[in-house]
Structure 1
Amino acid sequence: MTEQAGMQEMYTLKTIAETLNTSNDLNLMLDTVLGKLLELTGLTAGWVFLIDTQGEYVCISDHGLPPALLHNDKEPMRCGSCWCVNRFRDGRLDNAVNIINCKRLEDAVDHQWGDTHDITHHATVPLRSGEKMLGLLNVAAPGKEHFSDSELALLQAVAYQIGSAMERMRLYSAEQRRADLYARLGEYSRSLGLAVNECSNSDDMAKKVVQLLGQHYDWPFVALLSQKNGSFMVQAAHILGKFEMPTFSELSPERESHMHRVIDTHRAMVLAAMEIQEVSALCNTRLPMSVLASGLAAPIPLSSPGETAVLVVGLGSSNGFLQADREVLDALAEHITASWESLRLVYKRRELTRLEERNRLARDLHDSVNQILFSLSLTAKGAESMLSGSLQLHPAAEAMKDIRSLSQEALKEMRALIMQLRPAGLESGLLSALQEYGTGQGLQVVVHRTGMRSLPQSIEEGLWRIGQEALNNVRKHAGVTSAEISLHLSDHEAVFIVTDRGKGGAKRRDALPASSLGLSIMRERAQSLGGRLELVSSTRKGTSVTVVIPLPSESV
C-alpha cells in the first residue's frame, strides 16, 4: 500500500469515526455514514440490512440504489432472500467478501424492474460488536466486479466502527427506555395507590390494574390472567388503548404449562409470538405480528394459599429493549401485589368499622330499649295480677294482659334484632349459623350444600341476613316449625334457597305491599350484592325464597 493510499485510508476511518459520533439516532447515523463512506471510497450505491436472532432482516438504510432496486417501494430490498443474507444466517459470514453476482439485481433484470446502472456485483461486510452479529453492509459501483483485499480490509474496519456505534446507541437507547419505564412506574404506583380506595372487590381491582397500565405504558396489549381451579382465564385486558372485558376462555394445555412455569420461577419470562398471540385471541382480538411480536409474563402472588395471577404484556416488533421492559415488569408485579394487599387491608378495616358500629348499636339497644321493654313486661304482669285478684274482674285487666303480651313479643323481636346486629357462629359456616339461629327461633332447619368454593365475606354476610329474615317469616307466617335451606355454589354464582311447607300465600316480590318491609329489605340486600331475589308462594303448598348472587373470580 502506497503512503498516499494509507493516508487516504486513515482519513476515511477518521471521517467515519467523526460522523458516527454526530447523532444518537440509528437511522440518521446510518444514512449519514453510508453517504460519507460512498463519497470517500468513490462508490455509488450502498445499503444496510439489520438481521435479528431469528434471521428476519430489514433494509434500514440505503443510498444511491439503482431504479431496478427501487421498484414498487423498494420491494427487492424487502422481500426474498440472497446469498449474503443466507450466509449470515448460517453463521458462515465472518469477514468482508466479494459477491460474484447479486441475486436481487439478477431478479430485477429477469423481471425487468428497471435500470441497474450497470451494477452486477457488490461487497458484503458483516456488522458486529464483539461476538454479537448485527447485520450486513453492502456497497457497489457500476461495472465494478471485484474489490481488492485492501478495499475489503477498509470496509471491514469501517464495519467494525459502525457495529460498535450501533451497540453504543442500543445501550444508550436501552438506558433511556429503562429510565422512562421507571419514571412511569412511579406515576403508575401513585395512581394505583389512589385507586385502591375506590375498589370494592378484587374484580374492580383487576380492572384498575389493567386500565392504569394501558394509560401509563405504551405496550399495545396488557392482560391480567387469573388462575381458577387450576386453569387460567383472562380477567381484564387493555388492547391498543381500549379496555376490554373478555369472555371466559381457557388457554391451551401447553400455554397453561408455560404460565405455571412463570409462577414457579417467580420472575418475568419471555413469551414467543405464538404464545402472546394465543393470549390476545382469548380477548377476541388478533393483532398483526408487527403490533404484537413477542411478550412478557410476570407472576403476581397473592396472600391466600393457591391464589395467583399472571400479568401479561405484549411487545411490538419495534421494541428492541426487552431486558428493560422485563425488569420493569418485575417491579410492576411487586407494586401490584402490594396494592392488592392494601385492598385486603382496606376491606378488613371497613368490615371492622361496620362491626364496631353494629356492636355499639347492639349495646345501646340492649342497655336502653331492651331494658325498658323488659321493665314494661314486668310492670304489665304485676298490674295484671293485681287487677285479676279482685272479686270482680276489672275492665282494665284484659288490656293489661294485651300490654304484657305485646311487650313480651316486642322484647323477643328486640333480642332477635340485637342478635342480628351481633352475628355469632359464622366462623363455623353460613349454613351452620343459620341452622343454629333457626333452632333459637323454635324451627327445625335442614341444610344442603353443593360446591366447594369459598364465599367472599360481604356475600356470606348478606346471605346470612337474608336467611335470618326468611326464617323469621317462616316462624311468624308459615304456621310450621321446619324449614329447608340450600346453598349451590358454581364458578360464577351462588344460589341460596329457603323453603317451607307452610300455608303460603306470600306476595311476589314485584307486587310487594308497603307493609312488607322484611321482604323489601331482603330484596334490597340481594340487589346490593349485584343479585336478584325470587319469591314463589302457593296457598297450602308453602313458600320458596331464591337468591342468586354473582361471584367474583375466586383466585384474584
Structure 2
Amino acid sequence: MPEEVGMQEMATLKTIAETLNTSNDLSLMLDKVVGKLLELTGLSAGWLFLIDERGEYTCVSDYNLPPALMRNDKEPMRTGTCWCVNRFRDGRLQYAVNIINCKRLEDAVEFKWGDTSDITHHATVPLRSGEQMLGLLNVAAPDKVHFSDSELALLQAVAYQIGSAMERMRLYRAEQRRAQLYARLGDFGAALSLTVNECTETDALPGTVVRLLGKHFDCPFAALIKQTDERFHIQAVYADGHVSMGAAAPLSLEGTRLMDRIIDHYRAAVLTADELVDIFGPDQLELNSRQFGTGIGVPLPYPSPEEPGVLVIGTGTRSLGLIRADSEVMEALAEHIIAARESLKLADHRRELARLEERNRLARDLHDSVNQILFSLSLTARGAESMLSGTEPRHPAAEAMKDIRALSQEALKEMRALIMQLRPAGLEAGLLSALQEYGTKQGLQVVADRIGIRSIPRVMEEGLWRIGQEALNNIRKHAEVSTANILLECNEHEAKLTISDRGKGGAKRRKPSSENSLGLSIMRERAQSLGGRLEIWSSSRKGTTVTAVIPLPYESE
C-alpha cells in the first residue's frame, strides 16, 4: 500500500510539472494547475493568493469556490483578512499546515452570504521560491476538517513546483518588459536628440521631455521636479495626454522629504499611491490610487549638486517585479535627459559665440566705414570753418560749419560708444575695470567696489557688462551728474551688480513708448535671459539705482 501511495504521489507531481510547463501566462497556468491538483487529490475547491512585499494580497486563481465566496464579484476573496494571510505576513507560516477553520467561511455563515458547500476548513500552503515568499495556496473539500502529514507533504511539494514556475515566469516577463523598454528608450533618445537640435530655449526642455515620455512609454503620468533655492518645484507634468508646466508653489513638506530620500538613495525608488499624492497634492493632479497606482522616482544627476532633480513616472498597477525592470530602464532614461540638457546648454553656448562673432564683424565694419566717414566729415568741417572765419567780414556759413563740426564730433563719439558696446574690450581685466574705463570715456567719474570673490562665466559677465554700459549711458544722458557708483557683490549662488547716481532721477517716469525707456527694457530683457532679474529704484531727490541679480552655476572646489 505505501508503495502504491508513493507511486500515486509521484504521478501527481509529474502531472503538475507538465501542467506548469504548458504556458507562460501566469493566470492561465495557475488556473490549470489548481484545477489539476484538485482533480488528482480528490479535493473540490482551491484558491491562490499572491502577497507582495507590502503585505497586500490578490486572489489570482480559484477553482470551484463555494457560492458564498462568489458573491459581489468574489468580494470575500478581495477584502478583509484571515488567519493564513496574517501568519504569512508576520513570517510564522513556513510549511503546509491544517487550518482549524476559515474566517472567510465563518463570516459567510454569520452574515448569511450563501451556501458554503459544507466547506468549513482548508489546508494552507506557502508558495516560495528559494527564500522568497510569494503567496498562499488553499485547498478544501466538503466535511474535510483534517489533512494527514502525507497529504500536507504532497501539497508542500506541489507548492515548491508552483513557486519555482512563478519565479521562472516572473523572470521571463521581466526580461520581456526590459527588452521592450530598452527599445522604447532608443526611440525616446532619438526623438529627444532631434528635438534638442531644434530647441532654442533651455526652459522648454522639461515640457518636451515629459511629452516624449508620454508618447513613447505606457505611463499614466510623468513629471520633472527640480530643487531651486533649497525648495523643490515641479517643472513640467504629463498626465491624461496633456502637458502642463509646473506651478510656482513648492512641494509640501512630505513631498520634500520624499525627494530628499530619492536623491540620497542615488537609485530609483518605488513610490506608493499615497506618496504620489504627498508629492503632487490631491488637487493639483487629481491623483487617486485606482487611476495611477504606484510610481517610480529617479534621481537626475545634474552637474550642480546644489540643484538636484527627480523624475517621477507612474507605473499603473503593474506587479512589483515588472516595476523593478522599469526602474533599471528609468535610470538609463535619466542619463538621456541629463545628456540632452547638457547638449542644449552647449548649443546655447555655440549660438552665443556666433552672436559674439557677428557683433565683432559689425563693429569692424562700422569702424572701417561710418566711423572713418564721420572722422573725415569732422576734419572737413573744421577746415571749412577756419577758411570762412578768416574772411572780413565773417562769412555767414562759418557758424553753420561750426555746428556741422560739433554735430559730427558728437556723432563720432556716439559711434565709438556703439562700437565699444558691440565689441567689449577690456573684460580681460575684469568687469569692474571695463565698466570703470567705459564710464571714464563717457566723461563720468566712476567709483567701483567689490564684495566677495567668485568667478563669473563669460556669458553672464558679458550680460552684466551690457547692463552696466546702458546704465552708465543713462547717467550721462539723463542724471545731469558726473559721478557714478558701481558695486559688484558675488556669493556662491548669485552675482549682483548695482549702478547708482545722485542725479535728478525720473527713470520710472519715462513713458514705455519713449526712446529713453528702450534702454531700460533691453537691460531687463538681458537680465531675464540669464535667469535673473532687474530692479530699478528712482527718486527726484536721491537719484537712481539699477540692480541686476544673476544666478550663478555651481562651482566645484
Q: Same fold (TM over 0.5)?
A: yes
1:393/1:411 Cα in 2 relative to 1: closer, same or farther (>3 Å)?
same
1:49/1:495 Cα in 2 relative to 1: closer, same or farther (>3 Å)?
farther
Letter in 2 for 1:410: A
Distance in 2, Cα, partners of 1:387 & 1:403: 13
Give deviations 1:195-254, integer Å, cap 9, x for gaps: 2234444432233233322332233443323232334333333345443313331453x8
Which residue number in structure 1 is paired with residue 206 of structure 2?
206
Distance in 1, Cα, partners of 2:439 & 2:12: 97
Letter in 2 for 1:301: P
Instruction: Give the stretch that moved more between structures: 110-119 or 323-332.
Output: 323-332
CA contact (8 A) 1:97 1:123 kept: yes
Instruction: Give the stretch that moved more between structures: 503-512 or 452-461.
Output: 452-461
Which residue number in structure 1 is paired with residue 504 of structure 2?
502
Displacement after TM superposition at 1:109 (Å): 0.2
1:388/1:441 Cα in 2 relative to 1: closer, same or farther (>3 Å)?
same
Matched, 1:376 2:380: no
Q: How many residues align?
A: 549
1:282/1:73 Cα in 2 relative to 1: closer, same or farther (>3 Å)?
closer
Unmatched 5+ stretches in structure 2: none
Matched, 1:345 2:343: no
Give deviations 1:477-512, integer Å, cap 9, x for gaps: 443324567999999999988666338699733453
1:303/1:92 Cα in 2 relative to 1: closer, same or farther (>3 Å)?
closer
Give deviations 1:426-462, integer Å, cap 9, x for gaps: 6777677545433321124568999999999777756
Displacement after TM superposition at 1:336 (Å): 1.8
Question: What SS is found at the alignment partner of 1:197?
Answer: helix
Displacement after TM superposition at 1:546 (Å): 7.1
1:230/1:286 Cα in 2 relative to 1: closer, same or farther (>3 Å)?
same
Letter in 2 for 1:523: S
Which residue number in structure 2 is paired with residue 519 of structure 1?
517
Which residue number in structure 1 is paired with residue 54 of structure 2?
54
1:278/1:85 Cα in 2 relative to 1: closer, same or farther (>3 Å)?
same
CA contact (8 A) 2:382 2:402 kept: yes
Letter in 1 for 2:409: Q
1:497/1:107 Cα in 2 relative to 1: closer, same or farther (>3 Å)?
farther
Which residue number in structure 1 is paired with residue 25 of structure 2?
25
Provide the TM-score with structure 1 as the length reference: 0.84
Give deviations 1:86-130, integer Å, cap 9, x for gaps: 222232222222222111101110011111111111121111112
CA contact (8 A) 1:504 1:542 kept: no
Which residue number in structure 2 is paired with residue 414 of structure 1?
415
Letter in 2 for 1:99: I
Give deviations 1:134-172, integer Å, cap 9, x for gaps: 111111122222223333233222222211111111000
Displacement after TM superposition at 1:348 (Å): 0.8
Distance in 1, Cα, partners of 2:327 & 2:503: 63
Distance in 1, Cα, partners of 2:458 & 2:283: 30
Distance in 2, Cα, partners of 1:331 & 1:198: 23
Letter in 2 for 1:502: K
CA contact (8 A) 1:228 1:553 kept: no
Which residue number in structure 2 is paired with residue 160 of structure 1?
160
Which residue number in structure 2 is paired with residue 388 of structure 1?
389
1:47/1:231 Cα in 2 relative to 1: closer, same or farther (>3 Å)?
same
Distance in 1, Cα, partners of 2:178 & 2:505: 73
The alignment's C-alpha RMSD in Å is: 4.0
Instruction: Give the stretch that moved more between structures: 79-88 or 240-249.
Output: 240-249
1:225/1:495 Cα in 2 relative to 1: closer, same or farther (>3 Å)?
farther
Matched, 1:44 2:44: yes
CA contact (8 A) 2:274 2:289 kept: no
Question: What SS is found at the alignment partner of 2:222?
Answer: strand
Which residue number in structure 2 is paired with residue 109 of structure 1?
109
Displacement after TM superposition at 1:194 (Å): 1.8
Provide the TM-score with structure 2 as the length reference: 0.84
Letter in 1 for 2:186: G
Which residue number in structure 2 is paired with residue 403 of structure 1?
404
Distance in 2, Cα, partners of 1:230 & 1:443: 41
Displacement after TM superposition at 1:398 (Å): 2.1
Matched, 1:178 2:181: no
Distance in 2, Cα, partners of 1:221 & 1:449: 48
1:240/1:436 Cα in 2 relative to 1: closer, same or farther (>3 Å)?
farther
1:2/1:282 Cα in 2 relative to 1: closer, same or farther (>3 Å)?
closer
Which residue number in structure 1 is paired with residue 237 of structure 2?
237
CA contact (8 A) 1:263 1:299 kept: yes
Instruction: Give the stretch that moved more between structures: 106-115 or 370-379.
Output: 370-379
Instruction: Give the stretch that moved more between structures: 162-171 or 235-244.
Output: 235-244
Which residue number in structure 1 is paired with residue 477 of structure 2?
476
1:506/1:276 Cα in 2 relative to 1: closer, same or farther (>3 Å)?
closer
1:94/1:473 Cα in 2 relative to 1: closer, same or farther (>3 Å)?
closer
CA contact (8 A) 1:124 1:137 kept: yes
1:455/1:317 Cα in 2 relative to 1: closer, same or farther (>3 Å)?
farther
1:281/1:49 Cα in 2 relative to 1: closer, same or farther (>3 Å)?
same
Give 1:353-368 correspondences, 5 Å limit: 353-368=354-369
CA contact (8 A) 1:470 1:545 kept: no
Distance in 2, Cα, partners of 1:493 & 1:318: 48
1:218/1:453 Cα in 2 relative to 1: closer, same or farther (>3 Å)?
farther
Which residue number in structure 1 is paired with residue 96 of structure 2?
96
Distance in 2, Cα, partners of 1:322 & 1:389: 97
Letter in 1 for 2:27: N
Distance in 2, Cα, partners of 1:132 & 1:503: 77
Distance in 1, Cα, partners of 2:262 & 2:426: 40
Which residue number in structure 2 is paired with residue 336 of structure 1?
337
1:99/1:477 Cα in 2 relative to 1: closer, same or farther (>3 Å)?
closer
Displacement after TM superposition at 1:399 (Å): 2.5
Which residue number in structure 1 is paired with residue 313 of structure 2?
313
Displacement after TM superposition at 1:414 (Å): 0.8
Instruction: Give the stretch that moved more between structures: 379-388 or 448-457.
Output: 448-457
Distance in 2, Cα, partners of 1:130 & 1:535: 71
Displacement after TM superposition at 1:387 (Å): 2.8
1:92/1:475 Cα in 2 relative to 1: closer, same or farther (>3 Å)?
closer
1:492/1:133 Cα in 2 relative to 1: closer, same or farther (>3 Å)?
same
Instruction: Give the stretch that moved more between structures: 476-485 or 159-168.
Output: 476-485
Letter in 2 for 1:157: A
Instruction: Give the stretch that moved more between structures: 313-322 or 489-498.
Output: 489-498
Give 1:264-303 correspondences, 5 Å limit: 266-271=266-271, 275-281=275-281, 284-285=284-285, 287-291=287-291, 294-303=294-303
Q: Percent identity?
A: 62
Letter in 2 for 1:164: S
1:218/1:427 Cα in 2 relative to 1: closer, same or farther (>3 Å)?
farther
CA contact (8 A) 1:246 1:282 kept: no
Displacement after TM superposition at 1:48 (Å): 0.5
Distance in 2, Cα, partners of 1:452 & 1:29: 70
Distance in 1, Cα, partners of 2:23 & 2:553: 53
Tell me: higher relative CO, structure 1 or 2? Use CA pairs within 8 A at least 6 residues apart. 1
